């Protein structure tokens, strides 16, 4: 066959050829027998003959050494395909045995005929019924035609693997989830047939395919498990109901007999006492119910059968109407009049279930005079006490008496099995208290599926399964997993002796919570904030498995106010941890900075501060760097082995009074690049109070770092840069060991504020993380300084279930472009084209409203507002009507951000708004400004609005992504 080469007018055999002649596709599947039996040197041309003769000559003159190159051994399970000058020798594949080849002109390719196996990596597949599953398989194949396996495909094994991956995805995409779970053998057979047909031209026979595992998303597993549990419970209840029905008939017959003679009941009572006395014990029987009856007061005819009045009959059952109490459950609630005093209590009942109680409460915020108490029967000690929420802002903007109920949650797990009772007290002559919908026994199904417990549970932000959470710790990426460690107290919704909680994710959005990673050694110590990273070169010496790199955690150990840095390591991808035997690695020496207390706006240092280490590898100096907070400054340490650390420098004391009138915490230092400068370092620090929005917040500084000291850049001197202008963004740090091909700087923060963070009105948990953000550094030409921009990670957009778009529309005053859209969790991206005249209009504004209540809600209106006033170029955020705002006096409701002149110059204003069940995150002008705030609306407040006042506004686009 002639070789096509435009530079040669002749082929290798000397014959002329037509340059336009196409080379046919090589296919040896149906090669004629005559072609196989042709002479070994047939068709090789004059040049070929010359090379063959030369090869023989060289072989003869170099005997016996040439025998090592000319004799080849082919094993029993192999076949050899020999090519002479690129042409297959006649006779087909050779072997097994010894074979002679000519050096330089012959090429031998050995083909293994044994059955080979390979694993098909897990494939993410969207099934026909729109469920995402991950499926992997194993394929068994062998080569049945060595010649075409060499001539028709470059690498049979690799080609078969790629074909298996695509075939698995294509076949599973046509199946429903039920078919995938129940018909694995059918799917495996279909895949085998499909692969066998596809690999036949390659000389490969696919003998068998097996589906190994089908993995469902964790939320789907939980839903299916809950559905199965509910089905089992339903069947059990049916059986129990049938038994109760039969028992009821018998009891009815007994009751009818007893009713004919009242003395029979007394005789039965005496018979029971006789039976007890015969057992020779001192048992006393009290009629104690396990649960309260009529817990929602809907059985009005028997509403107070479980309650005992104490010298008062003021408490009564009241129904709701259009002017009052639309927030109660059902039609009735228990209430005291405004001018009455007294108390009422329930019968005794036993604490059961998971150890949670919840109820609706309204009325005066006066715990001394109006309250609901949970009392331990054995000693009459009050376990819990709750007063009403106080005044509530009405839709007119004025506060009114709080007939609106708020749901409260009590953790009574420490009293499981104990006998208790509820007591409702009203000793106020001008106040009142009301309760409704009491739940004294809570199940797993309630926590997982009941809206009482899910009302504020975020959908796409991480929150712990139960109990307290604050700062993110140890953000590290390893082996295709994002690790999120976090400050966690697993026994209550308050911050006590802190543990390290642990969760992992494949995409930063869906998280799986794992067991506690690092617990403290006793009830006094605490495992405070720190960092984690991969020890790639085993500098610590902790590595045990060659294939698994150790994860290192360096954190603050706190006990009795004494803070020092400890280390722990993991050799199983972070699943279990071992504390370093020679801790501490960095003890507290003479510390001149202390934590603070604020009295009359005067900051006083009272406790030593030496906490929150962040560790990273500094390639320029080939050493490890540890940056840690000293309260009024940060300290930089260096180490070669992660055990012995040397103080290199301190920074920040000179900026204390200028930039942070609070304690610095959770520092993070990392390198970033701009188009103009490839060596810029960013120092991120959290401040525990007196931030730009009040309470806690985050600052950052831009400069250089040489492995010894940090120096502010000239474009950042005397500048206090805020990472987020909202009240609920704190303690953020960035991920370690993000792969170079990704090259993102990803940050996660605690979405809360220390002013009120311990009192959030959530159910069985307290605390959530902000959305993971991707950071970029740029030079702002309007301020001539470095700035960080922030955007939600792109993985979030993979979870959209519906997209609604508007393009190039004029928004008229009084209209609402979004009035027909309902949603609880969604993303809005919008761009406004503002004309010059609007910036001179003092009454003009535009904006959004989220989580709005419906128009038929007459008693209270709910909404959260973001509005832009062009005249002063300011964004205003208002959560005063966002729902529950009365849980803490420090929960501010109004904020603003003044933008730079970019909006004036370009006439463009861009919004990116993330709304979850209890939060709003705002990114302005491609993340140039960020704002994060918590909100606590009713679940049924699902309306939204896009409005303008004072002028019509052109919107370039508005995309609503429902999640």
Active-site residue, selected from the candidate residues 436, 471, 535, 612:
471
Residue 471 annotated to the active site: yes
The token pair that represents 790 in the structure block: 């922030």
Residue 693 near residue 890, CB atoms below 8 Å: no
Alpha-carbon Rg for the chain, nearest whole angstrom, is 37
Instruction: Please provide residue 589's backbone torsions phi and psi, each rounded to the nearest 5 degrees.
Output: -95, -145
Residue 364 near residue 428, CB atoms below 8 Å: yes
How far CA 144 is from CA of 31, 149, 206, 207, in Å, comes to 15, 8, 10, 11
Task: Kindly write down the DSSP assignment for every residue of 379-403, as one continuous string.
Answer: TTEEEEEE-----EE-TTS-EE---
Query: For helices 218-260 and 263-278, what crossing angle results, to 10°?
Result: 120
The token pair that represents 609 in the structure block: 């501060």
Q: Is the backbone peptide bond immediately before 584 cis, with ω within 30 degrees of 0? A: yes
DSSP 3-state of 244: helix
Q: Which string of b and e fits 860-882 if b means at least 16 CB within 10 Å?
A: bbbbbbbbbbbeebebbbbbebb
Distance of CA 377 to the CA centre of its chain: 43
Strand partners, 695: none
Q: Which string of b and e fits 900-936 if b means at least 16 CB within 10 Å?
A: bebbeeebebbbbbbbbbbbbbbbbbebbbbbbbbbb
Strand partners, 425: 343, 371
The token pair that represents 290 in the structure block: 């396990």
Residue 915 near residue 932, CB atoms below 8 Å: no
The token pair that represents 326 in the structure block: 């639309």
716: which residues sit within 8 A by CB, 6+ positions away?
Answer: 701, 702, 703, 785, 786
Q: Classify strands 419-426 and 433-439 as parallel, antiparallel or unpaired.
A: unpaired
Please tell me the distance from the alpha carbon of residue 861 to that of residue 327, in angstroms, as a whole number. 12
* Closest C-alpha among 917, 922, 943 to residue 932: 922
- Residue 89 is classified by DSSP as P
Task: Kindly write down the DSSP assignment for every residue of 812-828, as one continuous string.
Answer: -TT--TTTT-B-SSEEE
Q: Classify strands 370-376 and 381-386 as parallel, antiparallel or unpaired.
A: antiparallel
945: which residues sit within 8 A by CB, 6+ positions away?
Answer: 816, 818, 819, 848, 849, 852, 863
In this structure, the chain runs to a length of: 963
844: left (phi over 0), alpha (psi -120 to 50) or beta: beta
166: which residues sit within 8 A by CB, 6+ positions away?
Answer: none
Q: Is the backbone peptide bond immediately before 96 cis, with ω within 30 degrees of 0? A: yes
Please tell me the distance from the alpha carbon of residue 746 to that of residue 733, in angstroms, as a whole number. 8
Please tell me the distance from the alpha carbon of residue 501 to that of residue 490, in angstroms, as a whole number. 8
Torsion sign over Cα 319, 321, 325, 329: positive
**Within a 10 A sphere around the Cβ of 623, how many other Cβ atoms?**
17
Q: Is the backbone peptide bond immediately before 929 cis, with ω within 30 degrees of 0? A: no
Which active-site residues does the annotation give? 471
């Amino acid at each position: 066959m002639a070789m096509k080469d435009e530079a040669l007018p002749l082929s290798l055999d000397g014959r002329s050829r037509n340059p336009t002649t196409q080379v046919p596709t090589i296919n040896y599947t149906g090669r004629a027998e005559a072609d196989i039996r042709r002479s070994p040197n047939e068709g090789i041309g004059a040049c070929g003959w010359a090379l063959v003769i030369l090869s023989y000559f060289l072989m003869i003159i170099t005997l016996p050494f040439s025998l090592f190159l000319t004799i080849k051994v082919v094993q029993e399970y192999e076949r050899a395909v020999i090519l002479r000058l690129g042409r297959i020798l006649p006779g087909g594949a050779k072997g097994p045995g010894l074979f002679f080849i000519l050096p330089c002109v012959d090429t031998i390719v050995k083909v293994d005929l044994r059955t080979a196996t390979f694993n098909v990596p897990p494939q993410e597949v969207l099934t026909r019924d729109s469920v995402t599953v991950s499926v992997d398989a194993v394929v068994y194949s062998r080569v049945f035609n060595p010649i075409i396996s060499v001539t028709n495909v470059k690498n049979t094994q690799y080609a078969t693997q790629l074909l298996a991956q695509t075939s698995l995805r294509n076949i599973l995409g046509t199946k429903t989830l039920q078919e995938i779970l129940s018909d694995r053998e059918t799917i495996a057979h279909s895949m085998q047939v499909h692969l066998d047909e596809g690999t036949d031209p390659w000389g490969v026979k696919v003998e068998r395919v097996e589906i190994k595992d089908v993995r469902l998303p964790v939320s789907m597993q939980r839903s299916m498990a809950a559905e199965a549990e509910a089905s089992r419970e339903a069947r059990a209840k049916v059986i129990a109901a049938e038994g109760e029905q039969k028992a009821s008939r018998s009891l009815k017959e007994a009751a009818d007999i007893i009713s004919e003679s009242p003395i029979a009941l007394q005789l039965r009572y005496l018979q029971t006492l006789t039976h007890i006395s015969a057992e020779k014990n001192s048992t006393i029987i009290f009629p104690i119910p396990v649960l309260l009856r009529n817990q929602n007061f809907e059985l009005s005819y028997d509403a107070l059968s479980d309650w005992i009045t104490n010298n008062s009959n003021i408490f009564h059952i009241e129904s709701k109407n259009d002017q009052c109490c639309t927030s109660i459950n059902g039609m009735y609630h228990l209430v005291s009049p405004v001018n009455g005093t007294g108390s009422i209590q329930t019968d005794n009942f036993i604490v059961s279930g998971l150890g949670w109680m919840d109820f609706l409460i309204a009325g005066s915020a006066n715990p001394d005079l109006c309250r609901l108490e949970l009392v331990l029967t054995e000693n009459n000690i009050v376990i819990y006490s709750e007063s009403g929420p106080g005044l509530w802002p009405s839709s007119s903007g004025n506060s009114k008496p709080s007939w609106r109920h708020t749901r409260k949650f009590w953790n009574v797990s420490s009293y499981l099995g104990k006998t208790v009772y509820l007591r409702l007290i009203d000793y106020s002559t001008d106040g009142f208290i009301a309760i409704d919908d009491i739940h004294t026994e809570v199940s797993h199904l309630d926590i997982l599926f009941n809206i009482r417990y899910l009302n504020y549970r975020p959908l796409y932000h991480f929150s712990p399964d139960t109990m307290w959470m604050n700062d993110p710790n140890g953000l590290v990426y390893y082996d295709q997993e994002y690790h999120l460690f976090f400050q966690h107290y697993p026994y209550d919704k308050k911050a006590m002796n802190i543990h390290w909680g642990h969760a992992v994710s494949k995409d930063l959005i869906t998280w799986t919570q794992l067991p506690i990673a690092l617990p403290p050694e006793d009830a006094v110590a605490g495992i405070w904030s720190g960092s984690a990273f991969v020890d790639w070169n085993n500098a610590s010496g902790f590595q045990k498995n060659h294939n698994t790199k150790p994860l290192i955690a360096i954190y603050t150990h706190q006990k009795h106010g004494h803070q020092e840095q400890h280390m722990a390591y993991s050799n199983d991808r972070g699943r279990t941890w071992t504390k370093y035997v020679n801790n501490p690695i960095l003890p507290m020496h003479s510390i001149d900075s202390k934590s603070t207390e604020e009295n009359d706006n005067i900051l006083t240092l009272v406790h030593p501060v030496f906490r929150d280490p962040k560790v990273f590898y500094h390639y320029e100096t080939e050493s490890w760097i540890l940056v840690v907070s000293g309260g009024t400054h940060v300290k930089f340490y260096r180490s070669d082995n992660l055990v012995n650390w040397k103080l290199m420098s301190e920074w920040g004391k000179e900026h204390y009074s200028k930039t942070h009138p609070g304690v610095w915490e959770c520092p993070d230092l990392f390198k970033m690049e701009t188009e103009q400068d490839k060596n810029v370092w960013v120092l991120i620090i959290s401040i525990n109070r007196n931030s730009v929005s009040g309470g806690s917040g985050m600052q950052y500084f831009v400069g250089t770092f040489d492995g010894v000291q940090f120096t502010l850049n000239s474009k950042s001197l005397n500048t206090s840069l805020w990472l987020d202008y909202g009240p609920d963004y704190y303690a953020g740090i960035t991920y370690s060991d993000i792969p170079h091909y990704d090259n993102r700087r990803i940050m996660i923060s605690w979405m809360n504020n220390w002013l009120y963070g311990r009192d959030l009105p959530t159910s069985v948990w307290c605390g959530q993380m902000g959305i993971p953000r991707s950071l970029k550094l740029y030079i702002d030409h309007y301020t001539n300084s470095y700035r960080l921009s922030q955007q939600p990670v792109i993985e979030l957009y993979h979870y959209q279930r519906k997209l609604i778009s508007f393009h190039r529309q004029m928004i008229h005053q009084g209209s609402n472009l979004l009035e027909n859209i309902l949603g609880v969790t969604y993303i809005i991206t919008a761009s406004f084209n503002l004309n010059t005249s609007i910036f001179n209009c003092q009454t003009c504004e535009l904006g959004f409203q989220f989580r709005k209540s419906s128009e038929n809600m007459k008693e209270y209106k709910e909404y959260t507002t973001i509005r832009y006033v062009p005249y002063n170029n300011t964004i205003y955020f208002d959560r005063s009507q966002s729902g529950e705002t009365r849980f803490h006096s420090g929960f501010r409701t109004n904020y603003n951000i003044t933008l730079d002149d970019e909006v004036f110059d370009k006439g463009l204003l861009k919004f990116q708004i993330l709304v979850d069940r209890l939060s709003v995150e705002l990114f302005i002008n491609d993340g140039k400004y960020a704002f994060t705030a918590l909100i606590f609306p009713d679940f049924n407040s699902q309306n939204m609005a896009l409005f303008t006042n004072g002028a019509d506004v052109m919107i370039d686009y508005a995309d609503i992504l429902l999640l």
